A and B are shown apart, each in its own frame.
Chain A
Amino acid sequence: MFYRENGQFKTSYKADQQVFAIPQDRWAIFALVVFAFVGVPMLVDEYMFRAILVPFLILSLAALGVNILVGYCGQITLGAGASMAVGAYAAYNFLIRVDGMPALAAILLGGLMAAAVGIVFGVPSLRVRGLYLAVATLAAQFFCDWAFLRIKWFTNNASSGSVSVADISLFGWTISSPTDKYLFCLGILVVFSVMAKNLVRGNMGRQWMAIRDMDVAATVIGIRPMYSKLTAFAVSSFYLGVAGALWGFVNLGSWEPAAFSIDRSLQLLFMVIIGGMGAISGSFFGAAFIVILPIFLNQMLPLVGSLLGLQVSIALVSHVEFIIFGSLIVFFLIVEPHGIARLWATGREKLRLWPFPH
């Protein structure tokens, strides 16, 4: 009824190829971004920023990176956490070892360093495929875990093994309050999302998708598998590296290698698969789901327990959280194996027909 494309005629290829070809979409997204920048800071409190919004933004960015590699190029990775770690530690080292290094530059350099490492760990993908590759990427994960724990140079010989960064500043704007952090991350996320969207619908993205859907056929029509796979690894690791640096600098402030463990890698993969592989919007859906769900469960379970008159111990809450989290994941995969993004798209299809199905 309200979501109709009737009467919207496209008269040029350019109009047809736009990111949001339908004006309703365009305005909705525009309104959403404006709301995120202006409306949200006025509405929510500090706890929301710290516990939900900032982690959500940074993990969305990381999920974007994983989605580029897994969703668009079809190379399953379980080493996403390693790229984040490389980004975080590289940025940290750039910041403290180079005098006058601006924080933003350090973060981006961290991303570049992660990209370089990502290329190295992407090399096996030229030989090894599918699930074998997934396990092979664990090598990167465990190696990085070990390296940042044992090699003291990376942590500037910190005795506790954890490193910390003071509030960073950007052109004189010190990012210290949760609102500042939120706006800073949001800005970066918006820029990177636009970049990602344009990357995947361009020549590069088409190559990745061709490799994903059938690599032999792609090679036959002249796509270089080495080039496209390694660029996917590089771009993905860059996103992850930047996200890792933000996670360390902005969200945590001080961190240990455990912040980027295998659990983080799995979490990111969850986001992409639940959100929707091969869909930019899927990264956001997935990140929102994975960030909010545990917090929600954590708040809800004791409440439910007290309603039922049960004494709920903390251990039990965490176990039940495990159970519900796991079952929800399985449930989502069953309902829509292509993720929330596909659910969303199906919903839109229905909306177009509504109220007259078929």
Chain B
Amino acid sequence: MTTANILLNVNSIEVIYNHVILVLKGVSLSVPEGNIVALLGGNGAGKTTTLRAVSNLLHGERGEVTKGSIECRGERIEALTPADLVKRGVVQVMEGRHCFGHLTIEENLMTGSYTRTDGKAAVAQTLEKVYNYFPRLKTRRTSQAAYTSGGEQQMCAIGRALMANPTMVLLDEPSMGLAPQIVDEVFGIVKDLNQREKVTFLLAEQNTNMALRYADFGYILENGRVVMEGAASDLANNEDVKEFYLGISSGERKSFREAKHYRRRKRWLA
């Protein structure tokens, strides 16, 4: 990877939940400024935990980072509160959207600007910008968030994060429970934001196909370890990735009896 501006650096972190459950077994990754980096992997691979470790939200889930370090622009950030982190420009969009159900869409967006100190006019400008990216939100601005559709809630969650004027967004499973068309729309906007607003994204995603299409760089997690990393295009062309994550295989259907497949798969899971 180019040594350009590394925005976020995660050094072999280990995360333990509830003092007994070891989830991350030494994950390292780095996110260069202005990139979209994808974290891929199956269920329980540790994607969400990695993001939570970065954004310091593990505490509420009784998890803690026991080893390793996390740096943002060279500054250690493990001990900061999530609020401090947002002030430094790192915001997480949580898995499953988590909109404030009783607040209207606009109120939801406005809560995102809580940490802003640059005045009302600037906030109003950002709000306008968010509405430009998500015109749907503008039409639903006065309805309570709990009554909007899943896609609108996801957009609301992303928009809410943008209201903090972040340099980096940790985006957790934006495609969860959304129709393919909406997923396309959401990813399109993410790419747009990345290119026009220079927002860096760290993206955890199940939808490997979609993620690799839009990301610059990818990490594949299995069982709490990084098993493969590389430029998104390289990953997308890798035979193993194609077979195990994209569901494309070179020839006819494979059977688990074939030892070759089994050995290859095993290399991933060990």
Partners in one complex: yes
Q: Are B22 and A346 in contact (CB under 8 A)?
A: no
Instruction: Give chain A residues whose Cβ lies under 8 Å from the Cβ of B18.
Output: 346
Per-residue CB proximity of A331-358 to B under 8 Å, as 1/0? 0000000000000001001100100001
Q: Which residues between 1 and 55 of chain B lie within 8 Å of chain A, taking CB atoms?
A: 18-20, 22
Q: Which residues between 193 and 239 of chain B lie within 8 Å of chain A, taking CB atoms?
A: none
Interface size on B, residues (CB 8 A): 4
Q: Are B19 and A358 in contact (CB under 8 A)?
A: no
The B interface is mostly helix, strand or loop, or mixed, namely: loop
Per-residue CB proximity of B124-161 to A under 8 Å, as 1/0? 00000000000000000000000000000000000000
Instruction: Give chain A residues whose Cβ lies under 8 Å from the Cβ of B19.
Output: 346, 350
Q: Total A-B residue pairs with C-beta atoms closer than 8 Å? A: 8
| Smallest CB separation, A40 vs chain B (Å) | 33
| Smallest CB separation, B102 vs chain A (Å) | 15
Instruction: Give chain B residues whose Cβ lies under 8 Å from the Cβ of A358.
Output: 22
Interchain CA distance A124-B19 in the complex, whole Å: 40
Instruction: Give chain B residues whose Cβ lies under 8 Å from the Cβ of A350.
Output: 19-20
| Smallest CB separation, B62 vs chain A (Å) | 8
Interchain CA distance A346-B18 in the complex, whole Å: 8
Minimum CB distance partner of B22 in chain A? A358
Interchain CA distance A346-B19 in the complex, whole Å: 8
The A interface is mostly helix, strand or loop, or mixed, namely: helix
Interface size on A, residues (CB 8 A): 5
| Smallest CB separation, B146 vs chain A (Å) | 13
Interchain CA distance A350-B16 in the complex, whole Å: 13
Per-residue CB proximity of A102-119 to B under 8 Å, as 1/0? 000000000000000000
Interchain CA distance A156-B76 in the complex, whole Å: 73
Interface-centre pick from B18, B19, B20, B22 (highest chain A CB count, 10 A): B20
Minimum CB distance partner of B14 in chain A? A358
| Smallest CB separation, B198 vs chain A (Å) | 41
Minimum CB distance partner of B18 in chain A? A346
Instruction: Give chain A residues whose Cβ lies under 8 Å from the Cβ of B22.
Output: 358
Instruction: Give chain B residues whose Cβ lies under 8 Å from the Cβ of A353.
Output: 20
Interchain CA distance A83-B159 in the complex, whole Å: 51
| Smallest CB separation, B60 vs chain A (Å) | 11
| Smallest CB separation, B67 vs chain A (Å) | 12
Instruction: Give chain A residues whose Cβ lies under 8 Å from the Cβ of B20.
Output: 346, 349-350, 353
Instruction: Give chain B residues whose Cβ lies under 8 Å from the Cβ of A346.
Output: 18-20
Minimum CB distance partner of A349 in chain B? B20
Interchain CA distance A358-B223 in the complex, whole Å: 14
| Smallest CB separation, A351 vs chain B (Å) | 11
Per-residue CB proximity of B92-124 to A under 8 Å, as 1/0? 000000000000000000000000000000000
| Smallest CB separation, B223 vs chain A (Å) | 13
Interchain CA distance A353-B18 in the complex, whole Å: 15
Minimum CB distance partner of B62 in chain A? A337
Interchain CA distance A288-B55 in the complex, whole Å: 40
Interchain CA distance A353-B19 in the complex, whole Å: 13
Interchain CA distance A358-B22 in the complex, whole Å: 7
| Smallest CB separation, B160 vs chain A (Å) | 25
Interchain CA distance A349-B22 in the complex, whole Å: 12
| Smallest CB separation, B65 vs chain A (Å) | 15
Minimum CB distance partner of B16 in chain A? A358
Interchain CA distance A350-B22 in the complex, whole Å: 12
Interchain CA distance A353-B20 in the complex, whole Å: 10
Interchain CA distance A353-B22 in the complex, whole Å: 12
| Smallest CB separation, B49 vs chain A (Å) | 16
| Smallest CB separation, A327 vs chain B (Å) | 21
Interchain CA distance A17-B18 in the complex, whole Å: 26
Give 6 A-B pairs besides A349-B20, A353-B20 with Cβ atoms closer than 8 angstroms.
Answer: A346-B18, A346-B19, A346-B20, A350-B19, A350-B20, A358-B22
**What are 8 A-B contacts with C-beta separation under 8 Å?**
A346-B18, A346-B19, A346-B20, A349-B20, A350-B19, A350-B20, A353-B20, A358-B22
Q: Which A-B residue pairs are the 5 nearest by beta carbons? A: A349-B20, A358-B22, A346-B20, A350-B20, A346-B19
